[in-house]
Amino acid sequence: MASTSDIRNGAVLKIDGQLWAVIDFQHVKPGKGGAFVRTKMKNVLTGKVVDKTFNAGAKIETANVDRRDFQYLYKDGNDFVFMDTADYDQLTVTEAVVGDAANFMLENQAVTVALNEGLPLYVELPASVTLEITYTEPGLQGDRSTGGTKPATVETGYQIQVPLFLEQGTRVKVDTRTGDYLGRVND
């Protein structure tokens, strides 16, 4: 058992038999009354996000989460196959657990998989990845001005917004948390 002082972003708590990942927390000490911890948590299995408040010093149960390095191998139907980089064991993860990370994963990419008692909870990607634009409308003369964007499809099939001057075949850096274009990559 732990107390509310152990709550951190990314911590996984066990509440009523379900696992909840802490997305955001705030320790509040009002002028009157006791302190409390306000949290925003995401159900690890269903993806539901809820707000929950704990009194300061309350006992909470934390779940043992093992974050291990894996390499994404391939997609098999609706499942994704990963290889543990330490012992080369393969792990099959469902599409629901992978979630939005699938939009940014290429074969042989290094990822972190969080496991609880051998059960995959979620897949963590690096903060940004480099992807190639496979389709976008061609740029026109004069499209060098700032501020304008157009849709572009990257090699994973995901669509992002890029500046007007970018063309097909350009490699770009993409933020895996928001899907935003971060810049061109010159190889």
Fold of 2-60: SH3 type barrels. (2.30.30)
Distance separating alpha carbons of residues 62 and 14, to the nearest angstrom: 6
Superfamily (CATH) of domain 66-124: Nucleic acid-binding proteins (2.40.50.140)
- 115-147 burial code (b ≥16 CB/10 A, e <16): beeeebbbbebeebbbbebeebeeeeeeeeeee
pLDDT at position 105, please?
Answer: 92
Distance separating alpha carbons of residues 18 and 58, to the nearest angstrom: 18
Kindly report the pTM of this predicted structure: 0.71
**Span 146-185, pLDDT tens digits:** 667 889 999 999 999 988 888 889 999 999 888 899 988 8
**Which residues does 142 contact at the CB level (< 8 Å), separation at least 6?**
none
Are the folds of 66-124 and 128-184 the same? Answer: yes
Q: Can you tell me whether residue 17 is helix, strand or coil?
A: coil
Regions in the chain scoring below 70 on pLDDT = 139-147, 187
